[in-house]
Chains A and B, each alone.
Chain A
Amino acid sequence: MAAKTRARTAEVQTFPGDTPADVLRGYYRSMSLIRNFELRSSEMYARAKIGGYCHLNLGEEATVVGLMAAINKGDYLFTGYRDHGYALMRDLEPGRVMAELFGKTTGVSGGRGGSMHMFDSEARLFGGYGIVGGQIPPATGVALAIKAKQQAGAESDAVMCLLGDGTTNIGAFHESLNLAGLWNLPIVYVIVNNRLGMGTTVEAASAEPDLYKRGASYRIPGIRVDGDDVLAVRDAAETALARARTERQPVLLELMCYRLRGHSVVDPARYRSAEETTIAQKSDPVPVFRAQLIAAGILDDAAADAIDAEIDAIVDASVEFGDASPDPDPADLFAYVYATPVANAPSALPGDPVMEAL
């Protein structure tokens, strides 16, 4: 993952902005990792190594990488169920992410969460959430606790809470933004606007389709940014997080991007017109960024291919790691139900008698 603090030495002048060439190459590498990992997940799903629901970040790579370049290690991250890329960008071993998809003990959530429920307390990845909007109130609560425990300032932690465009229609979004606005919480809500919630367009679901404006009712500033532009995403997120840390000002960031494929790996997206699909493919951030870097002389084809090949090997290894990892033992079924052991906590398996015969 790209380092958060970038040296401002103007090594690259041909590319807009002052981001050093190695950092830009790092962003490309990160985007390539997410792309490759997600395509491999899709393949593993088709081979039945992954079950349940599986939602991919395909098309959202610039958004994911830009956001994760802005966040500090100590910041808390909450996401929806489209969470694989974020787990990778929080520096979790790709093998552990793949192992979670395979339902193995070595997975980031011990194989208990699966695709939608990536969690790593050390990396402060505070969860993928499968219920639409489920992440928003707890993310707000972490911000409440940070405010209670830490002085405002550049050193303070902050919360980043991701959600989809469709998710802005659920009550939890509005209740939480009101709390954050009312209590001045250090949180950045990020709407990843991929223009669809399953098969429903933003216009068909939201009375105010300019979603960034939805902060206005809660006096939360809203900003819309091109989610296909990794640097614009990074810069906007850095500014927003800085406000959260130093001013205790919550911010609503809307990032415009496209979902390259269906809602989940099993959705053929037939409801989408050929025209819309073409637009999505044209703005595909991975080849676009690659071409930009090549045009700016920061990469050439050979160097880009070498990065892709390195990533391919990493993703291969993640699959091997997942395959080689053990399945959870049914004897551990009840391992994490309660934190404090108490008398009479249920531990019966289906068909066990409720009482030992006296």
Chain B
Amino acid sequence: MSIEAAPVTDPPATRVITYRQALNETLRAELLHDDNVFLIGEEIGVFEGSYKITAGLLTEFGPDRVVDAPIAEEGFVGAALGAAMIGMRPVVEIMTINFSLIAIDQIVNHAAKMRSMFGGQVSVPMVIRMPGGGGQQLAATHSQNLEVWFAHIPGLKVLAPSTPADAKALLTAAIRDDDPVIFIENLSLYSSKGEVPDGEQIAEIGKAAVVKEGTDLTIVSYSRGTTTALEVAHKLEAEGLSIEVVDLRSLRPLDRETICASVRKTGHAVVFEDDWLSYGIGAEISATIGEGVFDFLDAPVRRVAAAEVPLPYAKTLELAALPHAAELAKVVREVLNIAPVNSAPLEK
């Protein structure tokens, strides 16, 4: 028997780019990949996007593929939905998640329902991209984390990447998926950098990732929160604690397996989330852990979430209301029943 050498495939080359650039390159690649893909949203063409995600794309692809829409969220989200019903693949940009509330009827009552309600005869291959997040003094109406609104809805898929590599691989997957996908970005992630593999990368939707392994406690988070979770985990590592970090990546469907497998190992869990505490993403994670691995828990699951208040503009109040590394580290220590060591305070 001759032994054939397994074909050696080099891992793809990587580049360090920003989350913003990863999104921009992916949109460009998908516009090239499929003629049915088009972009639509406010200020995405001439203005190149409020957060410059679509820079250069109008020039390259023209106004049929990069459609500047008036301020009419309900109208153009619904129009994208209609185009998707006959096989186009619209990628909608809603300037921020706050304005999605104007389009909520088209998203929740229509996009999410079409396939089931019409007996599987039509599908809606559309993506709605939008950044959420507070912390930039944009005040109550412009600082929200409304992901749970969408994560609650059957028929939608909801993604929330935390790294440039995931932004690329999940956005590609979202555009190629045949269902409405809500793609949640975060204002404070756009300039963050990370290694991104070259070439086509398609993530599997519905899977969480263990982004740091550990044995003492699991932090579950997503989007911007994952970057804070990693910061805290590394910091506590230096104090001799072994923290595992699970990045959800997909909020619907939710990868309960990966969450429970991690907690089965560590026996402790803390959820770090940017949304409000009551009925938030963390409530679902806590319930999952309670039902799935109760016997393995050495302490109650805790959640670190935003204070339940319309977010004020003033910096002092905004800082007090939003969850930060310091509160996460405090709660991790409380769950592990460890007194804080004297060390440099974590950034508020």
Identify the A interface with B (CB < 8 A). Answer: 51-53, 103-104, 109, 111-114, 116-117, 129-134, 166-167, 169-171, 197-200, 204-206, 271, 327-330, 332-334, 337, 346, 348-351, 353-354
Name the B residues within 8 Å of A350 (CB-CB): 304-307, 321-324, 327
Stretch from B7-15, B80-88, B119-127, B308-316 at the A interface? B308-316
Name the B residues within 8 Å of A199 (CB-CB): 43, 46-47
| B46–A112 touching, CB < 8 Å | no
A116-B139, A333-B312, A350-B323 given; A132·B71 CB < 8 A: yes
| B71–A103 touching, CB < 8 Å | no
The distance from the CB of A43 to the nearest CB of chain B, in whole angstroms, is: 17
Name the B residues within 8 Å of A349 (CB-CB): 307, 320-321, 327
A52, A53, A113, A131: residue with the most chain B Cβ atoms closer than 10 Å = A52
| B307–A198 touching, CB < 8 Å | no
The distance from the CB of A124 to the nearest CB of chain B, in whole angstroms, is: 21
| A333–B320 touching, CB < 8 Å | yes
Partner of B71 from A129, A205, A328, A346 at Cβ < 8 Å:
A205
Q: List 24 A-B contacts (CB under 8 A).
A: A52-B142, A111-B317, A112-B140, A113-B139, A117-B139, A130-B141, A131-B98, A132-B99, A169-B72, A170-B102, A171-B75, A199-B46, A200-B46, A271-B46, A328-B314, A329-B316, A330-B317, A332-B317, A333-B320, A337-B310, A348-B277, A348-B308, A350-B304, A351-B323
| A117–B313 touching, CB < 8 Å | yes
Q: Which residues of B45-70 are within 8 A (CB) of A?
A: 46-47, 50, 68, 70
| B314–A111 touching, CB < 8 Å | yes
B89 interface residue per 8 A CB criterion: no
Identify the B interface with A (CB < 8 A). Answer: 42-43, 46-47, 50, 68, 70-75, 98-99, 102, 136-142, 277-278, 302-310, 312-317, 319-324, 327-328, 330-331, 334
Smallest CB gap from A197: residue in B: B71
Partner of A52 from B42, B137, B316, B323 at Cβ < 8 Å:
B137
- In the bound assembly, the distance between CA atoms of A80 and B302 in angstroms comes to 40
A131-B98, A327-B314, A337-B309 given; A114·B137 CB < 8 A: yes
Q: Is the interface of A mostly helix, strand, loop or mixed?
A: loop
| A52–B138 touching, CB < 8 Å | yes
Partner of A170 from B68, B71, B137, B327 at Cβ < 8 Å:
B71
A170-B71, A271-B46 given; A354·B277 CB < 8 A: yes
The distance from the CB of A169 to the nearest CB of chain B, in whole angstroms, is: 4
- In the bound assembly, the distance between CA atoms of A298 and B281 in angstroms comes to 65
| B142–A51 touching, CB < 8 Å | no
Name the A residues within 8 Å of B50 (CB-CB): 198
| B70–A103 touching, CB < 8 Å | no
Partner of A111 from B46, B68, B312 at Cβ < 8 Å:
B312
| B331–A112 touching, CB < 8 Å | no
Partner of B314 from A112, A132, A334, A351 at Cβ < 8 Å:
A112
Name the A residues within 8 Å of B321 (CB-CB): 333, 349-350
| A131–B99 touching, CB < 8 Å | yes
A103-B313, A103-B315, A170-B71 given; A330·B304 CB < 8 A: no
- In the bound assembly, the distance between CA atoms of A200 and B142 in angstroms comes to 21
Partner of B309 from A53, A170, A327, A334 at Cβ < 8 Å:
A334
| A171–B72 touching, CB < 8 Å | yes
Name the A residues within 8 Å of B319 (CB-CB): 330
Smallest CB gap from A114: residue in B: B313
Name the A residues within 8 Å of B330 (CB-CB): 351
Name the A residues within 8 Å of B307 (CB-CB): 333-334, 346, 348-350
Smallest CB gap from A353: residue in B: B302
| B142–A53 touching, CB < 8 Å | yes
| A134–B141 touching, CB < 8 Å | yes
Smallest CB gap from B141: residue in A: A130
| B102–A53 touching, CB < 8 Å | no
| A130–B142 touching, CB < 8 Å | yes
Name the B residues within 8 Å of A114 (CB-CB): 137, 139, 313-314
A52-B138, A52-B139, A348-B277 given; A171·B102 CB < 8 A: yes
Name the A residues within 8 Å of B314 (CB-CB): 103-104, 111-112, 114, 327-328
Partner of B70 from A104, A113, A206 at Cβ < 8 Å:
A206
- In the bound assembly, the distance between CA atoms of A170 and B75 in angstroms comes to 8
| A111–B98 touching, CB < 8 Å | no
- In the bound assembly, the distance between CA atoms of A350 and B324 in angstroms comes to 8
The distance from the CB of B301 to the nearest CB of chain A, in whole angstroms, is: 11
| B315–A51 touching, CB < 8 Å | yes
A-B CB proximity, top 8 nearest = A351-B327, A114-B313, A51-B137, A199-B47, A103-B314, A330-B320, A52-B137, A350-B323
- In the bound assembly, the distance between CA atoms of A10 and B141 in angstroms comes to 49
Smallest CB gap from A53: residue in B: B138
Smallest CB gap from B330: residue in A: A351
- In the bound assembly, the distance between CA atoms of A87 and B75 in angstroms comes to 33
Name the B residues within 8 Å of A129 (CB-CB): 141
Name the B residues within 8 Å of A113 (CB-CB): 139-140, 313
| B309–A166 touching, CB < 8 Å | no
Name the A residues within 8 Å of B74 (CB-CB): 171
Name the B residues within 8 Å of A134 (CB-CB): 141
Name the A residues within 8 Å of B304 (CB-CB): 350-351
The distance from the CB of B328 to the nearest CB of chain A, in whole angstroms, is: 7
Partner of A169 from B70, B99, B140, B312 at Cβ < 8 Å:
B70
- In the bound assembly, the distance between CA atoms of A117 and B327 in angstroms comes to 30
Name the B residues within 8 Å of A198 (CB-CB): 42-43, 47, 50
- In the bound assembly, the distance between CA atoms of A133 and B330 in angstroms comes to 42
- In the bound assembly, the distance between CA atoms of A167 and B99 in angstroms comes to 13
- In the bound assembly, the distance between CA atoms of A101 and B310 in angstroms comes to 18
The distance from the CB of B54 to the nearest CB of chain A, in whole angstroms, is: 12
- In the bound assembly, the distance between CA atoms of A6 and B331 in angstroms comes to 65
Name the A residues within 8 Å of B47 (CB-CB): 198-200, 271
Smallest CB gap from A201: residue in B: B46
The distance from the CB of A115 to the nearest CB of chain B, in whole angstroms, is: 8
Name the A residues within 8 Å of B328 (CB-CB): 351
- In the bound assembly, the distance between CA atoms of A250 and B152 in angstroms comes to 41
Name the B residues within 8 Å of A330 (CB-CB): 316-317, 319-320
| B70–A166 touching, CB < 8 Å | yes
Name the B residues within 8 Å of A104 (CB-CB): 314
| B72–A52 touching, CB < 8 Å | no
Name the B residues within 8 Å of A329 (CB-CB): 316
